[in-house]
Every structure is written in C-alpha cells, then in structure tokens.
A and B are shown apart, each in its own frame.
Chain A
C-alpha cells in the first residue's frame, strides 16, 4: 500500500548513544516532516523539508539533525541521545504548501532513552 513507512517501530537507547530514524514515502510528495508526540503536548514539529536537498528547523529542533538526500526519504538523527528525547516520533508528508489533503502520517517510532 502507498504511504509513509517508518523504521524502526521501537527502539531503546542508552544516554549518549546515537541513532537514525528512517522515513520513506512512495507518493512523490515534495514536503516531509518529523514530529514528536508527548503526553498532553500534542505533536510538535522538529524539522521539515520542502524538497530534495532542503531542510529547515521546526519548533523543537535542538538535539536532532535531518537529511533529505533523496526525495522519498527523510532521515532524523540523534547524535547523543538524552532521556528528554524519549517520545513517539512521527514522520509525515504532503504534496506541498497548503495541501488540501493535509498530511499522510507514518505509524510512528517509539523511542525510549534510558
């Protein structure tokens, strides 16, 4: 099925370890996004991309880096994980600015940093 695929689905890291979350979409969408979801805080935008080779900071970018080397992939990196980064991470994509269809979301990655 077409859509947004996130890997891995679950991960436990030790403080200070690094990891990369992968997001892949097969809908030829230009825009891609990384959000984190925390209880009582809704979804907060970490970084986003408006096209291949571009990235931009969102609301809570500190401690994360991203890359968009290919249009279909958007990677989120944690260089030195901290317990405050324990969260559920969602990737999303859209056809462009003010998409009338909103976003398509992946199923999420649950990350625990101990």
Chain B
C-alpha cells in the first residue's frame, strides 16, 4: 500500500547549520508530495509541495525535490534558525478519495 517513511528524530542542530530531513515514499501511480510543519501547540501548516517528478517545492528557505527514481522528497535548508524548531511531516496525496498519508513526523530543535 501507500506509505511515507521519515527519518527518526529528534534532530538537534545549532543555529545556521545545514538541515536535511529524509523522506521516502511507497505509492502506486503519481502522488503529490507535501511537507507540513507543526509549531508547538499549533495545527499543521503547509510548508511546500510538489505535484510531479523533478518538481522542486520551496518556501521560507526550505526546499524539497520530487525524485521519482529514488521515491524521495527530502527536506533541506541551508541555514536553520531557532524559529525553525518544530515538528516536520512529510505526506503524500494519492488519487483515491484525496486522502493525505503522513509520515511519523521529525522533531527539529535548533539551539542558539
């Protein structure tokens, strides 16, 4: 079936460090891929998305490229800030009923 696997957290980085959060997926057909962010005590917010192979989604300095050959959608940021501390969820959306499938989430903690 369709599924999403993320790297386990928590991930702890110093401010201005480079961030990579790995995400791989299993899906039939051609899903759309998303990254959501959840700040403490809040709901999920859409961070970026890609709807077809080789698309690059970007927002707030974060980027992710839809790699069909490796079934991956890794999240990257060149220089993290303390305000980026949050839980990040990778998700895929497939045709049947428009249901998002989430990974387990990766907690990021950025220290000054």
A residues lining the B interface (CB < 8 Å): 4, 31, 33, 35, 40-45, 48, 50, 56, 58, 90, 92, 94, 96-108
Contacts and interface: CB of A to CB of B under 8 A. Distances in A.
A97 B97 contact: yes
Given A98-B93, A102-B49, A108 B100 contact: no
Given A42-B102, A43-B102, A100-B32, A56 B45 contact: no
A4 B42 CA distance: 12
A107 B44 CA distance: 8
B97 A42 contact: no
Given A90-B44, A105-B45, A99 B93 contact: yes
Nearest to A94: B98
Given A102-B46, A105-B43, A107-B43, A42 B98 contact: no
Contact of A42 (B46, B89, B93, B99): B89
Q: Counting chain A CB atoms within 10 Å of each CB, which of B4, B32, B44, B89 scores highest?
A: B44
A103 B95 contact: no
Interface string B39-75: 0001111100101000000000000000000000000
Contacts of A100: 32, 49, 51
B25 interface: no
B81 interface: no
B97 A50 contact: yes
Nearest to A90: B43
Nearest to B34: A102
A58 B104 contact: no
A103 B100 contact: yes
Given A42-B105, A94-B98, A102 B42 contact: no
A96 B43 contact: no
B89 A43 contact: yes
Given A98-B98, A102-B32, A102-B46, 18 more contacts: A4-B43, A35-B102, A43-B44, A58-B99, A90-B43, A92-B100, A98-B32, A98-B95, A99-B93, A100-B32, A100-B51, A101-B49, A102-B34, A103-B100, A105-B43, A105-B45, A106-B43, A107-B42
